[in-house]
Amino acid sequence: MQRTSRRRIAFYSHDTQGLGHIRRNIALAAALVADEPSTDVLLITGAPQATALPLPPHTEVVTVPTVTKGADGGYAAGTFEMPLARLLELRSGIIASALISYRPDLVIVDKVPRGLDGELVPALEALVDVSGHTTGRRPRVVLGLRDILDDPITTRQEWREQGSTEAVDTYYDEIWVYGDRAVLDVATEYRLPARVAAKMRYTGYLADGRDEARLDEGDGASAEPVPHPFVLCLVGGGQDGYPTADAFARSSYPDGHTGVLITGPYMAERERAALARVAEAREDLVVRELVTDTHVLLRDTAAVVTMGGYNSVCEALASRRPTLVVPRIRPRVEQLVRADRLSRLGLVDAMAPQALDPTAVTAWLADAVTAGSSQGARVEVALDGLARVPGVARRALSTRLAPTRPRREEMAS
């Protein structure tokens, strides 16, 4: 079959907790399609809720059987009652089949070089010809990293245990860091080898332009109008967002303002029910589970209280609204580090979870609405990653690579 001239890009994200990884990939896909309309995008994800999110044109989603991440950081089968090892084998086969058949020009892997517990390796071996099963052409393979992974000790340990350096050496052409070195220098902070650092390209935060990249909005559920003026609370996917949501729901809002709370699709039903009861008892609180046009709410809000996930923080930074970040501290401290670094730079305010209560949130909202901004940035941080990534992708694709990676048996020798 003759190959068409359309550009093919594939994204992989394991998505075991929340929607952060797939939402980041959708934002990237939208920017890449907008820059080059003759682009097809395949999103491979472990989050079935991804099919309910608005997608760019020429974009399809393949979902693999779910794996859940517990509060202790451990993994287990989600929907299916089967051993985790067997489920990962099933996921791995689906991923490999999809990528090999799709024949992408560019593969962008989110965060985990070998995929969840190595599930991506069979696909990577085939795509870059290390197992001898050539596709006849080798795609560019890129590792996408968020600004902050975890604390340095944990990150270095996981990077070593998961064989990440070896995977980067074997499979990856570039590493795109969706952040700014002024906030955190990934290679230095995590003591990554020089050969890994040499592959890094800092794109800036994927913040500005998310509203412009919203495509095919008619396919998703749009937020109903809310009373203006209002203050907003976002808790990401919601699986561990109840303490922040509850504190916001029980706060007093600035005079004349309504509180708007988005619980996320993963919040436990009993927790959503408790918040609904709080909302029923007051006239100035609106509670919704999921909206696809969060950017509209952020554009119009007077102030926002949010957890510290990458996407939520990016959207808040792009809005230029006063922002209070209440970070998750378990099982990873990624959000805590992000909140601390950004607050030190004057980009947001931060509140430790142990200090969170309705009184503290009430006081912050009053000050934020009166002041009209957060502390005031002391360092300029790049927020235009979505505008930069298309150019980075074009440069990555400008040179076609030969399938010269070592075969598996050569790696073992």
For residues 186 and 150, state if they share a domain.
yes
Bigger pLDDT: 404 or 46?
46
Q: Is residue 379 part of a domain?
A: no
Tell me what percent of the residues of the chain surpass a pLDDT of 70: 88
| pLDDT at residue 259 tops 60 | yes
pLDDT tens per residue, range 55-104? 999 999 999 999 988 777 788 888 899 999 999 999 999 999 999 999 99
Q: Is residue 237 part of a domain?
A: yes
For residues 115 and 13, state if they share a domain.
yes
For residues 85 and 166, state if they share a domain.
yes
| pLDDT at residue 375 tops 60 | no
For residues 233 and 169, state if they share a domain.
no
| pLDDT at residue 410 tops 80 | no
Q: Is residue 378 part of a domain?
A: no
Average pLDDT over residues 212-238: 72
Give 109's contacts (C-beta < 8 A, 6+ positions apart): 11, 12, 115, 120, 141, 142, 143, 144, 172
Q: Is residue 215 part of a domain?
A: no
Domain holding 293, by residue range, is 220-371
CA distance 314 to 178: 10
For residues 391 and 363, state if they share a domain.
no
For residues 181 and 233, state if they share a domain.
no
Q: Which pLDDT score, from 0 to 100, does residue 404 have? A: 44
Into how many domains does the chain fold?
2
pLDDT tens per residue, range 177-192? 999 999 999 999 999 9
Average pLDDT over residues 336-345: 96
For residues 121 and 224, state if they share a domain.
no
Q: Mean of the per-residue pLDDT values for the chain? A: 89
Q: Is residue 211 part of a domain?
A: no
Q: Is residue 317 part of a domain?
A: yes
Give 392's contacts (C-beta < 8 A, 6+ positions apart): 176, 201, 203
| pLDDT at residue 21 tops 70 | yes
| pLDDT at residue 207 tops 90 | yes
Task: Name beta bridge partners: 339.
Answer: none
Ranking 59-68, 284-293, 322-331, 349-358 by mean pLDDT, the lowest is 284-293
Query: β-strand 323-325 against 349-350: which pairing, if any?
Result: parallel
